[in-house]
Structure 1
Amino acid sequence: MGRGTRVALVIGNGAYRYATTLPNPGNDARDMARSLRGLGFDVVEGIDLDKHGMESRIRDFGRKLDRADLALFFYAGHGLQVADKNYLVPVDARLERAGDLTLDTVTVDDVLAQMESERRVNLVFLDACRDNPLARSLAAALGTRSTSVGTGLAPIQSAVGTMIVYATQPKNVALDGEGRNSPFTAALLKHMATPGLEIGAVMKRVRADVYQTTRQRQLPWDHSSLIGDVVLAR
C-alpha cells in the first residue's frame, strides 16, 4: 500500500445470543462496507462477531493502518458506558457479573489506540447507543454501584486529527429504525457519498435528516479535533 491509502474497520453486531437481537446492524455494516469500498477504502469487515472475532478484526485493521493516512471505524450494535468508559458488545457477551465487563467486551479505547498510534486523520462512527438489556442486567449485578452504568455512550476525548461521531447525543438512546438501516446509518450512507462535501458539512446534513426522521427524538453528535478538511467522496 502506498501513501494516501484509506483503511476502514466496519463491524455490525445484531445476532446477540444473550440479549435482544437487533435487525439492522448487519445491514448497516454491509451497506457501509460496500459504500466505503466505492470511496476507495481498504475495508476490514465483520458481521455478528464474538469477542475473539472482534479482537482479530481490530488486529487486522491495525496492521493495515501502518501506511494509511485516513482511518475510519464504523460500529453498529449494542454498546454501553460504565463510569464514563465506552464498551462495544460482541454477540457472545453475557455480562452477568461486574467482572464480565472487561472479559466480555471490547472498549472503544482499544480501537482508538490502534488508530491514534501515529498522526493521521481518524473518523469514528458509533451507532451503538441502542437500548441495551445487557446494561440493565450488569447494573443489577453491580448493585449499589449500578449508577456508573449509563444509557447511551459517554463523550470521548480524542487525539488531534480525530473525529468521533455518535448516533445520538451523549447518554441518550439511539433508535434502531423501521427500515433496512438505522436512521443514523441511512443518513450517513446518503450524505457521505456526496462528491466534494467536507465531513463537517456531511455531519450537518446527517444531523438534520436524523432529527427529522426520528421526530426530534435523536440528534447525532460529534467531537472533532480535525485540523484540516476531510472529503470522503472526491
Structure 2
Amino acid sequence: MKKLKELSLALLFMGLVALLTIGCPTKNAFAAHSDSYIALVIGNGNYRNISPLSTPVKNAADMANVLKKLGFEVTLAQNVNRRAMREAIDEFETRLHHKGGTGLFYFSGYGLQNKGHNFLVPVDANIQHEADIQFESLEVERVLHRLKQANDKIVILDCQDIPFYYMSSKFFYTKRGLAQINSHTSNTTIAIAAAPGQTTLTLTYHRNSVYTKQLVDVLSQKGTSMRTEDVLK
C-alpha cells in the first residue's frame, strides 16, 4: 500500500482558476492499511458577530453523508461555539487514540491567517483586536497535532474570508485566504479550497460551495471501490 499522496487539480470555473489540493480516501483504498475510518466534520454558518454564511452547514451535512457511505464513522458538528469546537476536537483525538486507522477532519466556515498561522472560526467568535484571534478561534496546527494518533491523516478546509469591512472596522487586516500549511507528520494529506493566499469561490444561492460540491459529487459517483488516484480523475 502506497502512502497517501497530495494530489492537485486545476479547476477552471467562471473564468477563475482555483487550485484544488485533494486527498480523498475510500474504504477499499485503505483496506490494507487501516481497520477504522474516523471523521470529524464541522460546518459553521450562523455566526453571531460576523455576517452569517449560507453554505457551510449544508456542506458539512453532505460531506458527512458521503463519508458515511465510504465507511467512515462520522461525528457531525454544526454551528458550534469555541468551547464545543474544542471539545469535539478532543473527543476526535480520543477516538483516534483508541482506534488508530484513518482520521479525517473537515471544516467549512470562516477561516483566516495571521502571521503565517491559520485559524478556524467558531460561531461565537468576537474578534475585536488582532490579539484576540488565537483565543477566539482554533488554530489549524492544533488539529494537525490531534490527528497524529491516526495512521493516515486527512484535513480538508473549505474556508471563506471574514468580510473586509469587519476587519477594517477593527483597524487591523489579515492576508487573504489561508497561509501555506505544512505538516511534518508522515501520511498526511492537507486539502484546501483555494491556493494559499487566495479566496474561495462561493455562490450564495447554491446549496454548497463550489469546492465541496465538486468533492461530494466526485466521491458519490466514483463509489467505494476506487483508489485515491481514481477518485480525482
- Report if TM-score (shorter chain) is over 0.5: yes
SS of structure 2 residue aligned to 1:57: helix
**Structure 1 position 24 matched with structure 2 position 55:** yes
**Structure 1 position 166 matched with structure 2 position 198:** no
- Equivalent residue, structure 2, for 1:122: 153
- Equivalent residue, structure 2, for 1:187: 214
**Structure 1 position 45 matched with structure 2 position 72:** no
- Range that drifts further, 177-186 or 10-19: 177-186
Q: 1:136 to 1:68 in 2, by over 3 A?
A: farther
- Equivalent residue, structure 1, for 2:20: none
1:132 alignment partner AA: I
- Equivalent residue, structure 2, for 1:78: 110
* TM alignment of 1:99-178, pairs within 5 A: 99-116=131-148, 118=149, 120-128=151-159, 130-133=160-163, 137-138=166-167, 141=170, 143=172, 146=173, 149-158=174-183, 159-177=185-203, 178=205
* Native 8 Å contact 2:40 2:104 kept in 1: yes
Q: 1:119 to 1:43 in 2, by over 3 A?
A: closer
Q: 1:29 to 1:6 in 2, by over 3 A?
A: same
User: How many aligned positions are there?
Assistant: 195
- Range that drifts further, 32-41 or 83-92: 32-41
SS of structure 2 residue aligned to 1:150: coil
CA distance in 1, matches of 2:107, 2:199: 15
**Structure 1 position 68 matched with structure 2 position 68:** no
* TM alignment of 1:206-217, pairs within 5 A: none
- Equivalent residue, structure 1, for 2:12: none
- What's the offset of the Cα at 1:199? 2.6
- Listed as ranges, the gaps of 5+ residues in structure 1 are 206-234
- What's the offset of the Cα at 1:113? 0.5
1:168 alignment partner AA: A
SS of structure 1 residue aligned to 2:145: helix
Residues 93-125 of structure 1: CA deviation (Å, up to 9, x unaligned): 111112211210001111110102x46111111
- Equivalent residue, structure 2, for 1:209: none
Higher helix share: 1
Residues 9-63 of structure 1: CA deviation (Å, up to 9, x unaligned): 1000000111111100000001111111111111111000110010011111111
CA distance in 2, matches of 1:202, 1:139: 41
* Native 8 Å contact 2:50 2:166 kept in 1: no
Residues 151-209 of structure 1: CA deviation (Å, up to 9, x unaligned): 10011111210110111111111022231111111111111231333334434x5xxxx
SS of structure 2 residue aligned to 1:26: helix
Q: CA RMSD in A?
A: 1.8
Paired-residue identity, %: 32
Structure 1 segments, 4+ long, off by >6 Å, are none
Q: 1:121 to 1:136 in 2, by over 3 A?
A: farther
**Structure 1 position 197 matched with structure 2 position 226:** yes
- Equivalent residue, structure 1, for 2:128: 96
CA distance in 2, matches of 1:13, 1:98: 21
* Native 8 Å contact 1:119 1:161 kept in 2: no
- Listed as ranges, the gaps of 5+ residues in structure 2 are 1-33
